[in-house]
Structure 1
């Protein structure tokens, strides 16, 4: 056996650091060039950038609106001009924000559907009779020509 096998299981592990290597209070920081106090995170920077209001001309009229809203106007204009990427994004946003609601069929529509289905079944049965010839007892549709 080795010396490692004779040792007692360690008292540190996941979530607990080795006391010999742990950062001691009062000593210099282990990450002196880390994030400075008061610096902004990504979420704050994003919000500040897109919530900032700017003045734009819409149909010749100057309007003040957030940059995020301006990007939606630009997306709509590019999609209307035929830009495929803008059109894809616009359709994706439509599906997300304006989902199509399923409208149940009315009784009249259902009755018309059943009539059409009944007519189709009747036609199919009619043509099924013509598919087999009278001299074909097996009904495989070949008649006397298939012999």
Structure 2
């Protein structure tokens, strides 16, 4: 399924900036990618962010998910967020709070889901819980 590379990349930058409270330059991300073994020029990132380039090679996709800490499929596909299987899983959750939360977000956009995830991370820290990376991955 095709995705909007420009929107996804700009959203990744926006989420990072929101989480860290400062702007993020294309040059910085290009340096991170290069240091991680995924060479890309700042100019190419800028063209992607402006929509002038729309092809995102697999190795750059992998590098971006790595440096931004995103799900590996973030730049690869656009998940169908309204799957019958998802509704079935939600219907069988024992925890009624989780079930209601899942039902409330069913069908919202990927942008909204990613924002909710970042809010949940803030709430976890406020409650003194470890980051989600240190919890069971369901």
Classify the TM-score, shorter chain.
Answer: under 0.3
TM normalised by structure 1 equals 0.20
Q: Which has the higher strand share?
A: 1
Which of the two has higher C-alpha Rg?
Answer: 1
Ranked by relative contact order (alpha carbons within 8 Å, sequence separation 6 or more), the top structure is 2
TM normalised by structure 2 equals 0.21
Q: Which has the higher helix share?
A: 2
